[in-house]
Structure 1
Amino acid sequence: MDFEFLSPVDASVLEEISNYNVHSLKDKVKIHSLEHGLPDLEGVKIAIVGVRENRLAEDHEDEYLNFNKLRSSFYGLFPGNWHLNIADLGDIVKGESVEDSYFALQTLVLALLKKNIIPLILGGSQDLIYAQYRAYDRYEQMVNIVNIDSRFDLGDADKPITNRSYIGKAVVNEPYNLFNYSNVGYQTYFNSQDEIELMERLFFDAYRLGEVSNNLKVIEPVMRGANIVGLDLGAINAAAIGGNYRSPNGFDGKEICALARYAGISDKVSSMGIYEYHSNYPEAGNMLCAQIIWYFIEGVNYRTNENTKAAKQDFIKYLVPIEDEILVFFKSPISGRWWIEIPFVSNSNNKLKRHTLLPCSQEDYLEACNQVIPERWYKTKRKNEI
């Protein structure tokens, strides 16, 4: 790989971490440096990259965005019992225009996906998730986005894109790759009733902060169906992360790390973006960001690779008659996780071109046995047919 838009990790960071414990992450990650250049990506599973772009943030500050403090915190951590290789590719610097930054990120994400490497993006304003999503255009497949955010960020698709208005662009702009959008942790007072109603009309999924905090496990199947995961650091409460423009309500440190691990352990998640980072975070905020990265990597390390044809052949099949339907459930004998089949209708204009397994929970199966149709199954089936 030879990408001239990538700048190496700052020399001051390399100097600081040189004194860290020899068993820490600073000696376990292949780091892009000025001296050695870009690392060899052979055998690498996760590639970290910063994107210093925040010009479309509605609360934009004219700051020199960098991830030096975050990297210093991350490289001081110790790895788990990991069996994967990690690279830090440095940063994409601001282009002459925001479109240039988008193009660079899209190009890099596509190149990494082709190598089966998971891009772990550190941003910048969250409109960057649009470029992350557009990297999937070449694959000609429907894409699911899960966004951990206090706001839906649908916005007005007819207006210019911002960090509060980018999902609408993904919905209306060709090519039409977006199949499902799930918001995790929305807070009602940050979202207009128009947007809440639009989420319903589009059959998108939304989970309130209180609902998720009361039962984090409800999000595991949601993450298992995602291709792209985005995290707005503004979804974390101010007490946990500090900094300006943060809400007193939001996920705490333990909850956000658990969600990051769910994202990592999903076999389908092929890129992750952590957005709305600010250089002025206090030490505790940078440490929390570092631990979020750590937990995502921890999840990837423990993937069971059940999203393969060979693995699915061993699934246990359950048929549940309900109303005019027969719901088909599958259970993995290895992990104990559940899926439900989305039927392919031969005479319909299906968005999904074959029978598809939708991740679900054992509770969904038990409710179906009590003649209650799972809401996510219904929404997915409707989206597939319209």
Structure 2
Amino acid sequence: MNLSIFFEPLNEDIFALLDKPRTLGAYIGRFTGKFPDWRSADIAILGVSETRGREEEPHETAPARAVRKKLYSLHKGAGRCHIVDLGNLRPGITLEDTYLRIKEIVEVLISHNTIPVIIGGSHDLEYGQYMGYEHMDRVVNMVTVDSSVDMAEDPEVPANKKQLRQILMHEPNYLFSLGQIGYQSYLVDPEVMATLEKLHFEAYRVGEVHRNIQEMEPVVRMADLLTFDISAIRHQDAPGYEPANPFGITGEEACQLCWYAGLSDNMTSMGFYEYNPALDAHELTAATMATMIWYFIEGFYHRKNETQFNTSKFTKYAVAFNDNPDRMIFYKSRQSEKWWLEVEALSNEKGARIVPCSYEDYLQAIKGEVPNRWILTQARIG
């Protein structure tokens, strides 16, 4: 497929001083004259200037421009690096057309094992990112990092405040799990949280992220796609959005979550949304986002390919419960020391599912307590 018809080339002038040896700018193949070979790339960066989802006209200058300048100047890690920059997506005539363009691009890229990294644009663009998985003929898992939960019902509310409802209502329904990380209770309607609970989805307040970010790793490892609303980051570390949010996650925590995403063998697309360069006078947000993407790239090139559980790479643990013939099966990687949990379906017609978990889940099980992650997963399997 000729993806170049969807993109505008980048202006070469902004990269003139960035091609220094050993920086990412010297290794990323970008669309300036000739469209890069995305089929053989590991990761493809694409900028999206679509902001009609927050009731603004698309920006003439793509939000990705400032992020690219910061990202390209960062030093490359020690491993290999095969990344392309496809340029900036041409917005559709309507907002829905833009969603469909993102859907088609994500679908094509992940079908060729190339991970799209989207730099947007309003957060409703995650709907297009999600639709890119419709062709996979299997359920998918999604994680969103956001200070609020974008599930508004009011038709007068901007699109970037209700895209999760679009995803949940989308037919066919292929969403198996949704993880919401970093929400702030005073920004979320209690009825919305009750809906997530009824659907057996996981949600973690910003305080839980601060208290133990390591517990977010299994949540991220579960996901096929992750979306990041920049407003989840406290304003001191990323001022390029509105309204200002003084109590979000830190820039360091945002980078840690992106590192987890990069390491995950399941993760096949990333989206970074709601960056407004007009509010980023000193390009601090651009620097934060560039560092987040850098950590995702580094994590990707440190993947362990831990998907075959019945091999010598894993240690299997069976936890028995008192007065109960059933056992709970855990797997621990000998290489990364990460944990997985095998969850039996309630119905005999459905097989077991192995999902990421934490060491804390294992400790809870050996105390005779059923981990909440096991309960939620079994409820979703049915």
Give the alignment's TM-score, normalised by structure 2.
Answer: 0.93
Q: Is the 8 Å Cα contact of residues 330 and 338 (structure 1) preserved in structure 2?
A: yes
The answer (yes or no) to whether the contact 2:54–2:158 under 8 Å persists in 1 is: no
- Structure 1 76/209 Cα, relative in aligned 2: closer, same or farther at 3 Å? same
Identity %: 35
Distance 2:155 2:318 in 1: 45
Decide whether the 8 Å contact of 1:127 with 1:161 is kept in 2.
no
Offset, 1:105:
0.8
Query: Structure 1 unaligned runs (5+)?
Result: none
- Give the C-alpha shift of residue 65 in structure 1: 4.5
Name 2:49's counterpart in structure 1: 52
Distance in structure 2 (CA, Å) of the matches to 1:293 and 1:22: 19
Q: CA deviation at 1:74?
A: 0.9
Q: Which moved more, 1:183-192 or 1:39-48?
A: 39-48
| Alpha-carbon distance in 2 for matches of 1:171, 1:98 | 19
The number of aligned residues is: 375
Residue 286 of structure 2 corresponds to residue 286 of structure 1: yes
Shift of 1:10: 2.3
Cα shift at 1:255: 1.0
Partners in 1 of 2:311 and 2:151 — Cα distance? 35
TM-score normalised by structure 1 residue count: 0.92
How far the C-alpha of 1:189 sits from its partner, in A, is 0.7
| 1:45-64 superposed Cα distances (whole Å, 9 cap, x missing partner) | 01001111110115x46643
Return the match for 1:269 from 264, 267, 270: 267
Aligned to 1:360: 357
SS of the aligned residue for 2:150 comes to coil
Return the alpha-carbon distance in structure 2 between the equivalents of residues 52 and 10 of structure 1: 15
Which of 253, 256, 261 is equivalent to 1:255? 253
- In structure 2, the CA distance between the partners of 1:312 and 1:183, relative to structure 1 (3 Å rule), is farther
Q: CA deviation at 1:154?
A: 2.1
Give the secondary-structure state (helix, strand or coil) at the position aligned to 1:240: coil
Q: Deviations over 1:100-155 (max 9, x none)?
A: 11111111111111110111111101111111111111111111111111111122
Whether contact under 8 Å (1:118, 1:270) holds in the other structure is: yes
Answer yes or no: is the 8 Å Cα contact 1:10–1:68 preserved in 2.
Answer: no
Structure 1 segments (4+ residues) deviating >6 Å: 157-161
Counterpart of 1:163 (choices 156, 160, 165) is: 160
Output the CA distance in 1 between the equivalents of 2:314 and 2:225: 25
Equivalent position to 2:227, from 209, 219, 230? 230
Amino acid corresponding to residue 44 of structure 1 in structure 2: A
Alignment gaps of 5+ in structure 2: none
Q: Read off the aligned partner of 1:340 and give its amino acid letter.
A: L
Q: Deviations over 1:270-327 (max 9, x none)?
A: 1010111112223222111110110010110101010246x75642211112364421
Letter in 1 for 2:15: L
Correspondence for 1:299: 299
Letter in 2 for 1:337: K
Letter in 2 for 1:31: R
Alignment partner, residue 336 of structure 1: 337
Distance (Å, rounded) in 2 between the aligned partners of 1:313 and 1:178: 32
Offset at residue 346 of structure 1 (A): 5.0
- Gap change, CA 1:154 and 1:341, over 3 Å in 2: same
Q: Distance in 2 between matches of 1:49 and 1:108?
A: 10
| Alpha-carbon distance between aligned partners in 2 of 1:79 and 1:245, rounded to the nearest angstrom | 34
Q: Which residue matches 1:38?
A: 35
Letter in 2 for 1:249: F
2:60 matched to which residue of 1? Answer: 64
2:154 is the counterpart of 1:153 = no
Residue 122 of structure 2 contacts residue 273 of structure 2 at CA under 8 Å; is this kept in 1? Answer: yes
Is the contact between residue 16 and residue 72 of structure 1 (CA under 8 Å) also seen in structure 2? no
> 2:215 corresponds to which residue?
218
